[in-house]
Structure 1
Amino acid sequence: MKKKIYLLYIQRFLPKFFFTKICGYLSKKKLNIITTFLIFIFIKIYKINMKETKYPNIFYYKTFHKFFIRKLNMSNRPIDNNKNHIIHNSDGIINGIGNIKKNKIFQFKGCKFSLYNLIGQDYNLNNIFDNGKFINVYLSPKNYHRIHMSYTGILLKIVYIPGTLFPVNNIISHNLCNLFTLNERVVFLFKTQFGLMIKILIGAQIVGSIYSSWYGPIIPPRKNKIIIWNWPYINNFYKKDSVFLKKGEEIGYFSIGSTVITLFPPKIIKFNPILKIGKTVKVGELLASF
């Protein structure tokens, strides 16, 4: 317990943005044999299966950053193509799953955080998703860091919400209340066959940026205000620049590991009954049905 308290105390006063900026800079430097050695050590420590990757030879990666955002051989992640199934968007560990009750999302015993604050204080979306369902998946440093589409849909909106950069590992997420409304994050709103769906990519310490596949880096640059991009979609007709993604297509990636929270409106989906906190999940597996 004391160890957890000390860690939280240190994190509150650590210059998180500066530390993240330095780590991001170093990760993108070509350090030749040093880079290769660091990647080799990282693979050994975290027991990463390189046979799953698109480029298993570690000499392919000229920077540590390129290794972090490595692509998978997607034949190792078969997509559940049942038209009534929604899939997991990432590899990771379930940190939370359940119902949104009276605008509150469960984080850990004794702590619930606000849906309204999580999504950027949008009253309309809050009313749509209140009493719906949520799932929180943590991507550790060893995981594949790219995020995929859970179901075919079209992008309606992106919202950047400023905040701090606490780590999102188990110790912090199970002890620091409101962690996910304190950290900076990006909210993606999609329209699908079953209704609206929200994907929230949570920033964290050392996560230098969040990238989307069609827009590029959303953060940085960091600005101390909420920024909203409304995507072209009017009266059910797609415009030229609209973003339409099929189930399993890539949404974007974290520079390192972090957390993805997915939200569903009430009375629409049923979670796969085998899912629970602590369970390891992979891209393409069954998340829910409708």
Structure 2
Amino acid sequence: MIINKIRKKIYLYIQYLLPKLLITNVCGYISKKKLSIITTYLIFLFIKIYKIDMKETKYPNIFHYKTFNKFFIRKLNMNNRPIDKNKCHVVQNTDGIINQIGIIKDNQIFQFKGCKYSLFNLIGRDKNINKIFSNGYFLNVYLAPNNYHRVHMSYDGILLKMIYIPGKLFSVNNIVSENLCNLFLLNERVVFIFKTSFGLMIKILVGAHIVGSINTSWYGSIIPPRKNKIKIWNWPYINNIYKKDFIYLKKGEEIGYFNLGSTVITLFPPKIIRFNSNLKKGSKIKVGELLAFII
């Protein structure tokens, strides 16, 4: 027990010391290089080490992928991943492992025993949005290296706002997420606020160590560039009439993807959904499965 605690402290200390941005940029550069047989061999090793089922992918032949990054952001064969079409159901938006799930109590989100982090700071210090989601619900999903790294829509919705929040690039694996308090406030992230038929819904894509970029299906790359200031995109409307070319995504449609892995946080206001009772910390989830019931 004592040895494990010491190992965790050393690991966290190393996280602080590592030149995270430099490592991220180097790994991102290499992952996008066409290295011929070297790329193919790296992909082969990665599949073997992480036991990836290529039968689930749209292109199962590894020679299809000319760079390691193209393999990492591989698409699924959605015919093998049906999306729950029930209009009363909200679905999972990615593959991964549930890090935490629960209620946002007094504007605080549970990270681990002895640590809660601020909803207000997580979403970019927006007072109105903070008020709407106070005492609501949250789901934190970790995308491990072997997981599919594209993020989909949980329910039909219109994008109201997109916010880039600069930050660090700490790893978000279990050791760090269960020991480094305020991890998801420290790391850079992109916040998406959607309007659905049952209320607002927030998706947050959290950057991390070696996450070269975060891309969306409508805007392209949001990260990079990396700038030390918050950036906000709005799609305003008056009396439900949108004044710009609005972005409407149906349940199951793609929001975007990570170039290498990270975390997705989903937020709901209070009294509008009820989580699937089978879900708990440590549950493995897949795109299109039941996340919650609309109340």
TM-score (norm 2): 0.97
Paired position in structure 2 for 1:45: 49
Partners in 2 of 1:231 and 1:99 — Cα distance? 29
Structure 2 counterpart of 1:112, from 109, 116, 121: 116
1:229 positional shift: 0.3
The aligned runs of 1:197-216 (5 Å cut-off) are: 197-216=201-220
Structure 2 counterpart of 1:270, from 266, 270, 274: 274
Answer whether contact 1:167 1:204 (CA < 8 A) is retained.
Answer: yes
Question: Which letter does structure 2 place at the counterpart of 1:248?
Answer: G
Partners in 1 of 2:64 and 2:237 — Cα distance? 40
- Residues 190-248 of structure 1 deviation map (CA, whole Å, 9 limit, x = unaligned): 00010000000000000001000000000110110111000253321245621000000
Question: Which letter does structure 1 place at the counterpart of 2:258?
Answer: F
Partners in 2 of 1:219 and 1:234 — Cα distance? 30
Paired position in structure 1 for 2:171: 167
Answer whether contact 2:24 2:210 (CA < 8 A) is retained.
Answer: yes
3-state DSSP of counterpart to 1:12: helix
Question: Which letter does structure 2 place at the counterpart of 1:125?
Answer: I
Paired position in structure 2 for 1:101: 105
Structure 2 counterpart of 1:128, from 126, 132, 136: 132
Paired position in structure 1 for 2:153: 149
Question: Which letter does structure 2 place at the counterpart of 1:17?
Answer: L
Q: Is 1:230 aligned to 2:234, yes or no?
A: yes
Gaps of 5+ in 2: none
3-state DSSP of counterpart to 1:190: strand
Partners in 2 of 1:210 and 1:154 — Cα distance? 20
1:77 positional shift: 1.2
Answer whether contact 1:232 1:241 (CA < 8 A) is retained.
Answer: no
Paired position in structure 2 for 1:87: 91
Structure 2 counterpart of 1:289, from 286, 289, 293: 293
1:181 positional shift: 0.4
Question: Which letter does structure 2 place at the counterpart of 1:170?
Answer: N
Answer whether contact 2:235 2:243 (CA < 8 A) is retained.
Answer: no
Question: Which letter does structure 1 place at the counterpart of 2:216?
Answer: S
Answer whether contact 2:235 2:244 (CA < 8 A) is retained.
Answer: no
Answer whether contact 2:151 2:257 (CA < 8 A) is retained.
Answer: yes
Gaps of 5+ in 1: none
- Residues 64-84 of structure 1 deviation map (CA, whole Å, 9 limit, x = unaligned): 000000000001211001001
Question: Which letter does structure 1 place at the counterpart of 2:136?
Answer: G
Answer whether contact 1:36 1:59 (CA < 8 A) is retained.
Answer: yes
Question: Which letter does structure 1 place at the counterpart of 2:142?
Answer: Y
3-state DSSP of counterpart to 2:41: helix
Paired position in structure 2 for 1:59: 63
Percent identity between matched residues is 74
Q: Is 1:254 aligned to 2:258, yes or no?
A: yes
Answer whether contact 1:233 1:242 (CA < 8 A) is retained.
Answer: no
3-state DSSP of counterpart to 2:255: strand
- Residues 154-207 of structure 1 deviation map (CA, whole Å, 9 limit, x = unaligned): 000000000000000000000000000000000000000100000000000000
3-state DSSP of counterpart to 2:229: coil
Partners in 1 of 2:47 and 2:83 — Cα distance? 26
Matched residue pairs, number?
290
Partners in 2 of 1:260 and 1:31 — Cα distance? 31
Answer whether contact 2:99 2:282 (CA < 8 A) is retained.
Answer: yes
3-state DSSP of counterpart to 1:205: coil
Paired position in structure 2 for 1:217: 221
TM-score (norm 1): 0.99
Moved over 6 A (4+): none
Question: Which letter does structure 2 place at the counterpart of 1:59?
Answer: F
3-state DSSP of counterpart to 2:139: strand
Q: Is 1:245 aligned to 2:249, yes or no?
A: yes
3-state DSSP of counterpart to 1:135: strand
Question: Which letter does structure 1 place at the counterpart of 2:74?
Answer: R
Partners in 1 of 2:243 and 2:153 — Cα distance? 20
